[in-house]
Structure 1
């Protein structure tokens, strides 16, 4: 405002000169030159005021707008008279441009990160293609494959869809081993994947399963789905399949060996116990089962007389015959030097159990050693579920008591646990109407 006052003061002074001359000396003192000079001075002053306070701010404002329209969001407009409308306009315009500039920088950074992410995904995808059998990219939200259908069609000629749901159903039905189909479908069902990824921070879901080849053979593979992005238009994933057949078979073999007895090939003591405990904690809670403990009679004499090789032969033959005598669902294990343990699941009747126990006792007569004159026999102790206990250790302990009674009363026989005393042990008929098998 001070600038305006200065210019209006000068203009007023020039006009006052002319008015003073008119009022005092009249028109005779006023010359044409002075009038023209004063008019020119006034005109120049008016033009200067116009330029300073109207034309220049307007021009600067238009210039700033043009710069912004060309993409220069650093353009600003300044007006120094705080009481002028142009000043208020410049403040609002500059604030707006600051917001636009900040938003533009954020968008540029976001775009840069998106490009970097895209490039990283391309590199990751290329690496996967070198190490994996198949890869794909899918939009789970919109149920469609984005990339990788051709690779899957080369592996599975029956695939003719770009819908993710249909692809999973087709692969499960035609290329996944029957025992693994339900687990495969539950893992890779689109709705389950969406729910899992949205509800947790899990970046990757993996499943190992057996793939059925056109030849009918099975191959272990590992399928993984990785969250690759969750943009406004959908949740996207990258999936890949690896051949793990050799590694998986080695792992299973190691696991198998850790569960098996090295000499006989049947389950070892630790895994026998684990299997029985798991069964009783699950589907075995209902039903009637028999815990059968078996011991080779006079086994030390076999080792001492015929040698340890013949002792090992006897153990192996007993294990083989026990495995053949019982069902695949039953549990057969070696729990000690010459002791075996069989868990007979869901026997149908006391007659069935009696028949099986007689067969166990008689199988020892089929054992053949180098010395054909040597006769092998065995003693057997039995406890019953749920009558004698609901847990492995209790059944084991009572079967061991019954076995001890068999060995103490002549060997080569079986006894079913009915109590801790010899008198009770003889009273087998009171238990499920089973009759004690006499020694022969």
Structure 2
């Protein structure tokens, strides 16, 4: 039996290394005073990479590494201004190309004898792959995919949202944007189903370009889209996205303006506007109805 025994420490270290590699873990050590960051990727043999003046150069040399929406959160974590596990969008490629993935961050504060935080250490691990597998699994269920655009339909979006809120997203601030093109059915009658289906595919790609990897876009049918935006704390960001989408489909835009599309957009927020997919969608649709009423009233006043 003696030959089957393995040194406990060595065995445990190997298990830890395998686990870190499997999770795609990146360890970090940040020196707050000198603004020096050390990163080591488990999948690269834990070879350290050193960043001098990391936070100072986030908007220059290191701007492609962190998605703009995650900069403030990651800096606060590195500087010990906030703790706990949080999610950020990072591109950890050797040469970042803006292809961001979701990472969870766990931080530990290291203090000096006076209690002041000198360094932060911790880990980042890739959750995009597991979340991606969750969303890709819907491809096995045709009933949860929209037959025209290929993205999720209402049932697929509901499952994705409920799964996320039951796990990582439970303690986050999230948003649901409802986008409706009210005259799609009218266009289908005028120009035919095939032409309208092609337009919906183009709309789907255009709307999706405004959102991040990991956000979930769905076509609910008849020109009604919804986007579940994960970990979105700032309402002004959603307002900016809504304005940009309205501009894209406005009458003056050369790409879509000639179709006379009537675009209504409304946003609901988790948890204040609802604790489930249906509650969030109901709130957003109610706000869309108010938007429709405001536009109708404005049209009457203009004609008068």
Please name the residue that 1:379 is paired with. 264
Query: Which runs of no fewer than 5 residues in structure 2 stay unpaired?
Result: 26-135, 299-304
Provide the aligned C-alpha RMSD in A: 3.9
For 2:11 and 2:266, locate their aligned partners in 1 and report how far apart those are by CA, in whole Å. Answer: 57
Contact preservation (8 Å) 2:138, 2:145: no
Q: 2:293 aligns with which of 395, 408, 415?
A: 408
Q: Does 1:326 align with 2:170?
A: no
For 1:261 and 1:408, locate their aligned partners in 2 and report how far apart those are by CA, in whole Å. Answer: 29
Q: 1:258 to 1:179 in 2, by over 3 A?
A: farther
- The correspondence of residues 174-253 of structure 1 with structure 2, limited to 5 A, is 178-179=22-23
Contact preservation (8 Å) 1:381, 1:404: no
Contact preservation (8 Å) 1:296, 1:376: yes
For 1:322 and 1:265, locate their aligned partners in 2 and report how far apart those are by CA, in whole Å. Answer: 14
Q: 1:333 to 1:405 in 2, by over 3 A?
A: same
In the superposition, the TM-score normalised over structure 2's length comes to 0.50
Query: Which runs of no fewer than 5 residues in structure 1 stay unpaired?
Result: 1-138, 145-160, 182-250, 414-440
Q: Counting helix residues as a fraction of each chain, which structure ranks higher?
A: 1
How far does residue 394 in structure 1 lie from its aligned partner after superposition? Answer: 1.3
How far does residue 333 in structure 1 lie from its aligned partner after superposition? Answer: 0.9
Tell me the SS of whatever aligns to 2:150. coil
For 2:156 and 2:254, locate their aligned partners in 1 and report how far apart those are by CA, in whole Å. Answer: 26
Please name the residue that 2:187 is paired with. 302
Please name the residue that 1:436 is paired with. none
Contact preservation (8 Å) 2:178, 2:266: yes
For 2:185 and 2:197, locate their aligned partners in 1 and report how far apart those are by CA, in whole Å. Answer: 11
1:148-188 Cα shifts (integer Å, max 9, x gaps):
xxxxxxxxxxxxx9x9x8699489749x973489xxxxxxx
In the superposition, the TM-score normalised over structure 1's length comes to 0.36
For 2:175 and 2:143, locate their aligned partners in 1 and report how far apart those are by CA, in whole Å. Answer: 26
Is 316-325 or 360-369 further displaced after alignment?
360-369
Q: 1:373 to 1:333 in 2, by over 3 A?
A: closer
Please name the residue that 1:355 is paired with. 240
- The correspondence of residues 101-180 of structure 1 with structure 2, limited to 5 A, is 143=4, 169=14, 173=18, 178-179=22-23
Q: 1:333 to 1:166 in 2, by over 3 A?
A: same
- The correspondence of residues 52-91 of structure 1 with structure 2, limited to 5 A, is none
How far does residue 277 in structure 1 lie from its aligned partner after superposition? Answer: 1.2
Q: 1:316 to 1:344 in 2, by over 3 A?
A: same
Contact preservation (8 Å) 1:317, 1:367: no
For 1:384 and 1:404, locate their aligned partners in 2 and report how far apart those are by CA, in whole Å. Answer: 17
Contact preservation (8 Å) 1:267, 1:332: yes
Considering Cα pairs closer than 8 Å and 6+ residues apart, tell me whether 1 or 2 has the greater RCO: 2
Q: Counting strand residues as a fraction of each chain, which structure ranks higher?
A: 2
Please name the residue that 1:286 is paired with. 171
1:180-233 Cα shifts (integer Å, max 9, x gaps):
89xxxxxxxxxxxxxxxxxxxxxxxxxxxxxxxxxxxxxxxxxxxxxxxxxxxx
Q: Does 1:265 align with 2:150?
A: yes
Please name the residue that 2:39 is paired with. none
How far does residue 340 in structure 1 lie from its aligned partner after superposition? Answer: 0.8
Please name the residue that 1:120 is paired with. none
For 2:204 and 2:224, locate their aligned partners in 1 and report how far apart those are by CA, in whole Å. Answer: 10
1:94-127 Cα shifts (integer Å, max 9, x gaps):
xxxxxxxxxxxxxxxxxxxxxxxxxxxxxxxxxx
How far does residue 385 in structure 1 lie from its aligned partner after superposition? Answer: 2.0
For 2:155 and 2:138, locate their aligned partners in 1 and report how far apart those are by CA, in whole Å. Answer: 17
Tell me the SS of whatever aligns to 1:335. strand
For 2:239 and 2:263, locate their aligned partners in 1 and report how far apart those are by CA, in whole Å. Answer: 16
Contact preservation (8 Å) 1:361, 1:377: no
How far does residue 403 in structure 1 lie from its aligned partner after superposition? Answer: 1.4
How many equivalent pairs are there?
Answer: 185
Contact preservation (8 Å) 2:267, 2:284: yes
Contact preservation (8 Å) 1:268, 1:335: yes
Q: Does 1:342 align with 2:186?
A: no
Please name the residue that 1:312 is paired with. 197
